[in-house]
Amino acid sequence: MTPTLFEKISARKIPATIVYEDEKVIAFRDIKPQAPTHVLIVPKKPIPRIAEAGPEDQQVLGHLMLKAAEVAKQLGLSQSGYRLVVNNGPDAGEAVPHLHCHILGGRKMNWPPG
């Protein structure tokens, strides 16, 4: 199977501005930001989308969420707030078939989104 864009970034085959990394996740700035701060946090394990995650992925999914909050704090978003977004499938805006969470902040977010 061909590695996803995010697997290539994690393997340093494609450049990215990395803001956090550990053994399970990598976080980097989005190349087409939708907010003043727009970072993607991605599990290194290639899970295509949340709908395809299984019970065996529980630990990495929890780690992903906790690290998203940690990265948001590191980026100075804790006081004003931020939005976490997980897209699932093309109608939701999923562009890369590798589970990832968008951390968006630095401006007021509208509701409902989209």
Catalytic residue among 63, 98, 100, 102: 100
pTM to 2 decimals? 0.94
**67 domain residue, yes or no:** yes
Domain count of the chain? 1
In a domain, 83, yes or no: yes
Q: Is 98 a catalytic residue?
A: no
Residue 5 to residues 2, 10, 37, 56, 88, Cα–Cα distance (Å): 9, 9, 21, 23, 17
* Structural domain boundaries enclosing 93: 5-105
pLDDT tens-digit profile of 55-85? 999 999 999 999 999 999 999 999 999 999 9
pLDDT, tens digit, 9 for 90 and up, residues 23-54? 999 999 999 999 999 999 999 999 999 999 99
Q: How far apart, in whole angstroms, are the C-alpha atoms of residue 114 and residue 105?
A: 16
CATH number for the domain that contains residue 86 = 3.30.428.10
